[in-house]
Amino acid sequence: RIWAVLIGIDGYAPYPLRGCVTDALTMEKYLVDNLLVPRERIQKILGPARSGDTSTSTDVFAIPSRANIVSLLHSLITNPNIKRGDPIIIFFSGHGSRYPLSYDDDDPDFDGELDDERSQNYVEALCPVDRNTIDSSGVLIPDITDRELNTILAQISRIKGNRITFILDCCHAGSVTRTLSPGVRLFPGWSMPRSRICSSLQKKPSKTFPAIDPSSQRTGSQTRSPT
């Protein structure tokens, strides 16, 4: 009784990618052909092959926007057909990023002379196709941070059990100091106060996603199962 959510995004503007939609479709084929998962248990949202191309997703509710991705993940909590203990697979292929946390922005107790571990913390994030655009309310659309994802995964785990596999095929280390080749799945982080990234960040965050391997231009597929 496997259930799956597959997200693949090629058509970022700027910095489009190649192969992410194909990766998601390949994962779907593996689930159906090898693991015999019924297609009705697989939900997918795919970005266009390139920016401006509508051939892949013509339905506004099927594009991998921030709102749609978050809504799709929440559906794993509310879907009554998913029983507690059913295996759940979440696959994301696209851009990732991270942002260094600066506690002196809004922490009155922060001592700028202290070189403690807080200054080394990062917000790491998955990038929806509509990141850094303005929504209908005039608000800048942010990435989906590890804190937000961790909260959603914890809710899924609490309601549906711990048999969750999260597969990430993206980079998420925007502070890499070397030159990256075109198409590497990385977005540079934004320079903004942490309150603009996610209003719910805690003072002592913990990393959800592993840091990028400095010996590789992309992380490859990373997996995480909540405990």
Predicted local confidence at residue 142, as pLDDT: 93
Point out which residues pair with 5 in neighbouring strands.
43, 90
Check whether 193 has a pLDDT greater than 80.
no
- Quick: pLDDT tens for 144-154: 988 899 999 99
User: Which run of H or of E encompasses 227?
Assistant: none
60 pLDDT tier (thresholds 50, 70, 90):
low
Predicted local confidence at residue 42, as pLDDT: 97
Average pLDDT, the chain: 73
What stretches of the chain show up as alpha helix (H) in DSSP? 20-33, 66-78, 146-160, 194-197
Q: Which two tokens stand for residue 220?
A: 């490859």
Q: Among 114-123, 135-144, 150-159, 209-218, where is mean pLDDT lowest? A: 209-218
Predicted local confidence at residue 92, as pLDDT: 94
Mean pLDDT of 32-47: 96
What residue has token string 């799709």? 72
How does DSSP assign 174-218, residue by residue? TT--S---TT-SB-PPP-S-HHHH-TT--SS---SSPPPPTTSSS
Mean pLDDT of 201-220: 33
Closest CA to 28 of 48, 5, 59: 5
Angstrom distance (rounded) from CA 86 to CA 2: 6
157 pLDDT tier (thresholds 50, 70, 90):
very high
Neighbours of 211 (CB within 10 A): 14
Predicted local confidence at residue 172, as pLDDT: 52
- Quick: pLDDT tens for 98-130: 888 755 444 444 444 444 444 357 788 899 999
What residue has token string 């659309």? 141
Predicted local confidence at residue 155, as pLDDT: 96
Contact (CB, 8 A) for 148 and 67: no
Structural domains of the chain, ranges and CATH numbers in brackets: 3-224 (3.40.50.1460)
Check whether 174 has a pLDDT greater than 60.
no
Angstrom distance (rounded) from CA 21 to CA 28: 11
Q: Among 24-38, 44-58, 187-201, 207-221, where is mean pLDDT lowest? A: 207-221
**pTM as predicted:** 0.69
- Angle, nearest 10°, between helix axes 66-78 and 146-160? 20
Neighbours of 207 (CB within 10 A): 13
Predicted local confidence at residue 61, as pLDDT: 56
Q: Among 45-54, 150-159, 168-177, where is mean pLDDT lowest? A: 168-177
